[in-house]
Amino acid sequence: RRRSRFWVHPLNQQRRSQGDFYHLVAELRLNSQRHHQYFRMTAEKMDELLSLVGPELRRQSTSFRAAIEP
């Protein structure tokens, strides 16, 4: 049986304070194995997918909140 090193991995502990996209994705790109475990795809495949669906995901910022860019 595989022994777990962390109850919650440090990357996941910071998710709420740092946000998924801006900080976590940048940090995961530095470690390809963790990136693949988290997203179940390589960084290259994620970039390819984002280039296909990115234009459909764009939103306008309003005075109430800023839009999140893909």
Q: What pLDDT, in 10s, does the model give residues 35-61?
A: 999 899 999 999 999 899 887 777 777
| Residue 26 belongs to a domain | yes
* Domain enclosing residue 45, as ranges: 10-53
The answer as to whether 49 is a domain residue is yes
Q: Letter for the amino acid at 35? A: H
Inter-residue contact 53 to 45 (CB < 8 Å): no
Q: Is the pLDDT of residue 1 over 90?
A: no
- Count up the domains in the chain and report the number: 1
Compute the distance between CA of residue 26 and CA of residue 18 in angstroms, rounded to an integer: 11
For residue 67, what is the DSSP state? Answer: P
Tens digit of pLDDT for each residue in 26-35? 888 999 999 9
pLDDT at 67: 66
Indicate whether 17 belongs to any domain: yes
Is the residue at 27 inside a domain? yes
User: Is residue 32 domain-resident?
Assistant: yes
Q: % helix / strand / coil in the chain, to the nearest 5? A: 60, 0, 40
Determine, yes or no, domain membership for 44.
yes
pTM over 0.75: no
